[in-house]
């Protein structure tokens, strides 16, 4: 019983110390600004702890971004916009988008759309927020296009269609790869027979054995059918006589 109480006490102390140390490691922007107030803007930009800042700024929350931007500007940092944008790019480089996490991809696309259409809310700084939106939407478009090209996702996935719709509303169009059958249907519909014959010719040249064997089998089947037809016609003629 005595040993159990000691273990329980040690566990409590351990978690308390862990909690205090975790709190101490949280990046404090105001404290950092005070320590670096004598640094030039270029030095401040180069040495800024972007990875730590990523952990406290809420990129999908415009109010959070706006608040930190104002803090930087109020502390005399004329390159506040560059610091914020570099923080966002650092975040996406550290935690790249993945179409397998379709929920995050959708939320990110919606966030980019909000930023890109912010003119009516923050007219004085619209260019800044629109540039963030363009960057975010471009990241979504690149990941979606690459995932479709590498066949990591299916273009018929309804959730992918949602992301694609958000991107299209913001003038971002995805180059969706088409299957050979889809291309064939389009060319047949358009009457582009020269393309179809050219493709058939290339396939025969590329796979001569396959098409050679297939051709021989078709010819044999055709000959057998013709022979059966003649036999049937001959028997019928004899029967009539």
Domain limits, the chain: 180-241
Position 79 scores a pLDDT of 93
DSSP state of 153: S
Helix (H) or strand (E) holding 139: helix 126-149
DSSP state of 207: S
Percent residues over pLDDT 70 in the chain: 65
From CA 203, how far away is CA 134, in angstroms rounded? 43
The CA-CA-CA angle for residues 88, 94, 95, to 5°, reads 90
Residue 22: is its pLDDT beyond 50? no
113-143: pLDDT as tens digits: 999 887 655 556 778 888 999 999 999 999 9
CB half-sphere exposure, 78, CA atoms < 13 A? 5
Close Cβ partners of 118 (under 8 Å, ≥ 6 residues apart)? 62, 126, 129, 130, 133
Position 50 scores a pLDDT of 95
CB half-sphere exposure, 80, CA atoms < 13 A? 19
Supply 234's token pair. Answer: 């001959």
Average pLDDT (214-235) is: 71
């Amino acid at each position: 019983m005595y040993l159990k109480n000691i273990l329980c006490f040690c566990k409590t102390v351990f978690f308390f110390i862990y909690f205090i140390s975790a709190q101490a490691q949280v990046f404090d922007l105001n404290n950092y600004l005070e320590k670096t107030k004598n640094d030039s803007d270029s030095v401040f930009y180069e040495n800024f702890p972007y990875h730590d800042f990523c952990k406290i700024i809420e990129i999908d929350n415009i109010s959070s971004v706006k608040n930190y931007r104002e803090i930087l500007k109020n502390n005399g940092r004329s390159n506040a916009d560059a610091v914020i944008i570099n923080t966002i790019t650092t975040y996406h480089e550290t935690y790249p988008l993945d179409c397998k996490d379709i929920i995050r991809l959708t939320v990110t696309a919606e966030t980019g759309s909000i930023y890109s259409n912010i003119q009516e809310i923050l007219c004085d700084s619209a260019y800044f927020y629109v540039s963030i939106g363009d960057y975010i939407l471009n990241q979504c478009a690149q990941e979606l296009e690459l995932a479709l090209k590498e066949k990591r996702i299916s273009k018929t996935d309804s959730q992918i269609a949602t992301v694609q719709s958000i991107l299209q509303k913001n003038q971002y169009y995805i180059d969706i790869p088409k299957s050979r059958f889809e291309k064939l249907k389009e060319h047949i519909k358009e009457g582009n027979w020269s393309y179809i014959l050219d493709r058939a010719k290339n396939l025969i040249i590329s796979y001569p054995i396959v098409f050679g064997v297939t051709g021989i089998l078709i010819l044999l089947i055709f000959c057998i059918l013709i022979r059966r037809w003649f036999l049937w016609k001959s028997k019928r003629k004899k029967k009539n006589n």
